[in-house]
Structure 1
Amino acid sequence: MPSLTPLHETYCKWDHSPPSQADLLEGLAQLFSTRLGSVVQDLIQVMQREMLLSIFGVSTKKSKQIQDTAYINTVYQLTYGALQKYGSELIAPSLRQIINIFPDLHDKPLTPSLNFLVGVLNGILGDYLLKEHNPLALPMVLYDHYGAIQQGGLNGRVVIFAHGLCMNHHDWTHSSYAGIGEKLLSQRDNNTMLYLNYNSGRRISANGRSLSKALQDLVERNPRITSIDLIGHSMGGLVIRSALFYGKQNMQQWFHMVENLVCLASPHHGAVLERFGFALQEKFGNLPVIKLISHIVNIRSNGILDLRHGSVRDDDWEHNDARIGLVDDNRKPAPLPSHINTYFAAGSVELVINKKRNLPLKIIGDYLVSIKSALGEHPNPRFQLKLPESHKAIFYGLNHFNIQYHPNVAEQIVQWFYPSQEDLKQEQMNKYLIKLESLQGIVET
């Protein structure tokens, strides 16, 4: 009997509401009872082949012949069949039985712990979940400052936060710190804090387009909104930049209402560890262990792949099918909108400022994103995201994950959003100098 597709399962979620606890159980049941594409099969075959090549010294041609023999195929099918049978006939029915026994799970939202689980699954398998219509695939939703889905009218200044890969809308606060949103609310400037939750396994440019549409819908439903500030952490900063790119391209109203953009530890020119893994694979790919690891690492979402170089446009990836090996940086420029005050913040594992800091620490940055990448600095002028030095900040002693809620970062954002008269004068001078520098460049050309 052929394996069931999600359309044949107990139910399939088609609306755009966040998953409930029942959706979580059903989504897990579907993962256990349907094939993860060809991922598991391919991985088993790769492991078999590497054992034949590396341990037994069999040639590539001979290993293929052995794997194609009827006996090996039978063993393989029995092994994989047993795994499928165990998942579809035991685990999946058990999960669905829980839903039947407790029907109120359909009305129960995910707890913070379950949101964490679903966020991680979306970061790793989000594109697969979406393709298979799995109810675990997260829709793009805006939440208010108190964790409820945004409803009702909005007016005045709106601040929107976008989380990073495998994270969720709860990650902007910490048990020890109130967070950036609370700090901004204390300014009493008619602020509204909204927190985006989205499927971080999708293409960054796909999420950027979705965010652009969501923001356009928001301002159309709330004509009393006067301005928008955008704050993104890690991948969230790239999603916002993508939304700005497509918002401008499509001449949408919300684009012209944005006053400030803050990117916290966003890999504008790629994440170090993503490229490092591909470089290792390219250099040492003939080692059996590295080969196995490379195939396992290759089981990851398109969103993660976009972090390799910080891709924010569709045409950065749509003609590039390569998923393994060290792929060249084929990005197209995505300049920052000139009318927006843009600020970049980077974290560093170093505890103090060190002008002579060694290269490894400089590259590591906050463990995941280098300082230069987070500050938009690039040796190629086409990709440079030029900002005044007053619009950049490095936070020493902060890693990639605590930079998004630390009080020092919150204080810096308040200073950026609410500058003193002296800061405003300096800002005008900086803009004048940048304009003068551009004119000099034109004259020299």
Structure 2
Amino acid sequence: MGIRTRRTQELGELGELALRELASAAGGVRAVHSAIARRTFAAVRLGVGPAARPTQLMHDAISAGTYASIEAACTGAAKAVGAMTGGDDASDDDPRPSPSHTTLGAQTIAILHGLIGDDMERTSRVLAYPMSIRVDGRPVIPKYRALATAFPDAGAHLVVFLHGLVETESAWRLGGRPTYGERLDSEADTTSIFLRYNTGRRIATNGADLSELLEQLVQAWPVRVHRITLVGHSMGGLVSRSAAHHAAENGRRWVDLLTDVFTLGTPHLGAPLAHGVHVATAALALTPETRPFAHLLARRSAGVRDLIHGSITEDEGHASYADGFDVGVAADISVPEGVRHHHASAVVTGNPRHPVGIFVGDGLVRTDSAGGRNTLRNIGLRPDDGLAINGAHHFTLLNDERVYEWMRRALVGESDPRLRS
């Protein structure tokens, strides 16, 4: 049917995905309805006996037909949309921006990535795009000419920013304020690079991709790179650590230029919410009435599952993909030697010693996890390299004056941070 524009393909795939999810939701509602009906009719039969059987058969036939019709209609519509908008090639001839090139569209896709990004990678044509450098929402190929055009003032110190789960590079502009990167570029003579990636994939997979991307970037950068700094929010901090580990294990040259890693609200020891969802899924699977909800939670992405322990390698600390009450065993990967790891945490209470603040941390990540150290685990982050702020939540760390000043002080004024004690 010819070449469609990228905009048409992305919109079509979003529509197709929405219809398929609606069909799946109808199946889930049907399962809940059936389970409740079976229990209800079983109770009725205890009182009236076999006389309830014809009514149950009629109810089951009508409900089955209704739900089957809804599922078939949604599935058929999804196939039709896919056939009309699909294609092997996608052009950028449409003057209107593709959803992935707009803030709202990219955020919508990012939410889908976080929820089912690993599944989308297997089934999507254009929405499960690879990790990429982004400038004004558009991808930049890590080739000399493209980089020279996108970064006309390219410098020798690269600061690479990685967002967290269900976020995009726009998250760093929280509150409409200038980003950390923009401020560092003007005050610390750096060149900031913002990345976008599918947060539903394994953290280790994204870490390997980041390592390979940085290797290409260093080789193609318009000027010789002297220094690299990684800054990751939440999951982005785990991806940064994973990339450094991958590079060290596979002899990538870019890691020799890495001097600093900043992790902001990163669940190095895991996130309580991810742990809770894992256990809740097993609990909901115990009864027929709640089993469909367990199936819904079980669809959560591989990236979310990695947050149970803060896993950064393919085989380290990853809970079984078969949901159960056992959440697996954590194994720690220490931070690389010779790289200074700065870590920021937050508490929602004004008093950092308040029991609520200690228990919930920034609302999603506890302070001990953000610091990589508790009574059972220690990944080697130095307490002296940490920053703790109070009266702040998880997303405050994306753009906060206290965090910026701490970051700027660490990067400005010393030629070789490896020599610092």
> Shared topology, TM-score over 0.5?
yes
In 1: Cα distance, 2:351 partner to 2:192 partner:
32
Q: Indicate yes or no: 2:360 matched with 1:364.
A: yes
Identify the residue that residue 219 of structure 2 maps to in structure 1: 220
Identify the residue that residue 23 of structure 1 maps to in structure 2: 9
Instruction: State the one-letter code of the partner of 1:405.
Output: N
Identify the residue that residue 118 of structure 1 maps to in structure 2: 109
Identify the residue that residue 396 of structure 1 maps to in structure 2: 390
In 2: Cα distance, 1:104 partner to 1:420 partner:
47
**Offset, 1:283:** 5.6
SS of the residue 2:396 aligns to: coil
Instruction: Assess if the C-alpha contact under 8 Å between 2:343 and 2:387 holds in 1.
Output: yes
In 1: Cα distance, 2:331 partner to 2:368 partner:
19
The verdict on how the C-alpha distance between 1:139 and 1:12 changes in structure 2, with shifts beyond 3 A counting, is farther
Q: Deviations over 1:26-57 (max 9, x none)?
A: 21243256x56995576245324532455445
The verdict on how the C-alpha distance between 1:107 and 1:292 changes in structure 2, with shifts beyond 3 A counting, is closer
Q: Deviations over 1:384-439 (max 9, x none)?
A: 12333220111111111121111211111112223689x999x52xxxxxxxxxxx
SS of the residue 1:377 aligns to: coil
Please give the TM-score of this superposition, normalised by the length of structure 2: 0.81
In 1: Cα distance, 2:325 partner to 2:249 partner:
31
The verdict on how the C-alpha distance between 1:417 and 1:277 changes in structure 2, with shifts beyond 3 A counting, is same
The verdict on how the C-alpha distance between 1:70 and 1:11 changes in structure 2, with shifts beyond 3 A counting, is farther
Equivalent residue for 1:414, pick from 404, 408, 412: 408
**Pairwise mapping of residues 336-355 of structure 1 onto structure 2 (< 5 A)?**
336-354=335-353
Please give the TM-score of this superposition, normalised by the length of structure 1: 0.77
The count of aligned residue pairs is 394
The verdict on how the C-alpha distance between 1:250 and 1:42 changes in structure 2, with shifts beyond 3 A counting, is farther
In 2: Cα distance, 1:415 partner to 1:342 partner:
14
The verdict on how the C-alpha distance between 1:263 and 1:53 changes in structure 2, with shifts beyond 3 A counting, is farther
Q: Deviations over 1:162-216 (max 9, x none)?
A: 0001110111113442221122123243x11000101111111111111111111
**Offset, 1:260:** 0.2
Q: Indicate yes or no: 2:359 matched with 1:373.
A: no
Instruction: State the one-letter code of the partner of 1:385.
Output: I
Identify the residue that residue 152 of structure 1 maps to in structure 2: 147
Q: Indicate yes or no: 2:43 matched with 1:47.
A: no
**Offset, 1:271:** 1.1
Identify the residue that residue 49 of structure 2 maps to in structure 1: none
Identify the residue that residue 328 of structure 1 maps to in structure 2: 327
Instruction: Assess if the C-alpha contact under 8 Å between 1:177 and 1:406 holds in 2.
Output: no
SS of the residue 1:403 aligns to: helix
**Pairwise mapping of residues 109-258 of structure 1 onto structure 2 (< 5 A)?**
110-144=101-135, 149-150=139-140, 151-153=146-148, 154-189=154-189, 191-222=190-221, 224-258=224-258
Instruction: State the one-letter code of the partner of 1:394.
Output: A
Q: Indicate yes or no: 2:76 matched with 1:85.
A: yes
Instruction: Assess if the C-alpha contact under 8 Å between 2:10 and 2:98 holds in 1.
Output: no
**Pairwise mapping of residues 248-327 of structure 1 onto structure 2 (< 5 A)?**
248-282=248-282, 286=286, 291-316=291-316, 320-322=320-322, 324-327=323-326
Moved more, 235-244 or 269-278: 269-278
Instruction: State the one-letter code of the partner of 1:126.
Output: G
In 2: Cα distance, 1:311 partner to 1:80 partner:
37
Q: Deviations over 1:249-271 (max 9, x none)?
A: 10110111100000000111111
Instruction: Assess if the C-alpha contact under 8 Å between 2:116 and 2:301 holds in 1.
Output: yes
Instruction: Assess if the C-alpha contact under 8 Å between 2:282 and 2:324 holds in 1.
Output: yes
SS of the residue 1:361 aligns to: helix
The verdict on how the C-alpha distance between 1:395 and 1:293 changes in structure 2, with shifts beyond 3 A counting, is farther
SS of the residue 2:16 aligns to: helix
The verdict on how the C-alpha distance between 1:292 and 1:160 changes in structure 2, with shifts beyond 3 A counting, is same
In 2: Cα distance, 1:179 partner to 1:419 partner:
21
Instruction: Assess if the C-alpha contact under 8 Å between 2:305 and 2:319 holds in 1.
Output: no
Instruction: Assess if the C-alpha contact under 8 Å between 1:29 and 1:93 holds in 2.
Output: no
Instruction: State the one-letter code of the partner of 2:129.
Output: L
**Alignment root-mean-square deviation, CA:** 3.7
In 2: Cα distance, 1:284 partner to 1:149 partner:
41
In 1: Cα distance, 2:288 partner to 2:248 partner:
48
In 2: Cα distance, 1:141 partner to 1:208 partner:
13
Instruction: Assess if the C-alpha contact under 8 Å between 1:12 and 1:134 holds in 2.
Output: no
Instruction: Assess if the C-alpha contact under 8 Å between 1:172 and 1:179 holds in 2.
Output: yes
**Offset, 1:361:** 3.1
**Offset, 1:319:** 9.0
The verdict on how the C-alpha distance between 1:331 and 1:152 changes in structure 2, with shifts beyond 3 A counting, is same
**Offset, 1:371:** 1.0
**Offset, 1:230:** 0.1
SS of the residue 1:196 aligns to: strand
**Offset, 1:117:** 1.1
Identify the residue that residue 50 of structure 2 maps to in structure 1: none
Instruction: Assess if the C-alpha contact under 8 Å between 1:272 and 1:363 holds in 2.
Output: no
Identify the residue that residue 63 of structure 1 maps to in structure 2: none
In 1: Cα distance, 2:177 partner to 2:66 partner:
55
Q: Which residues of structure 1 form unaligned runs of 5+? A: 1-8, 14-19, 59-65, 429-445
**Pairwise mapping of residues 426-445 of structure 1 onto structure 2 (< 5 A)?**
428=421
In 1: Cα distance, 2:305 partner to 2:251 partner:
29
Instruction: Assess if the C-alpha contact under 8 Å between 1:32 and 1:88 holds in 2.
Output: no
SS of the residue 1:312 aligns to: coil
Instruction: Assess if the C-alpha contact under 8 Å between 1:22 and 1:106 holds in 2.
Output: no
In 1: Cα distance, 2:342 partner to 2:333 partner:
16
Q: Deviations over 1:113-163 (max 9, x none)?
A: 11111111111121121101331112211124x555443344410000000
SS of the residue 1:320 aligns to: coil
SS of the residue 1:373 aligns to: helix
Identity of aligned residues (%): 24
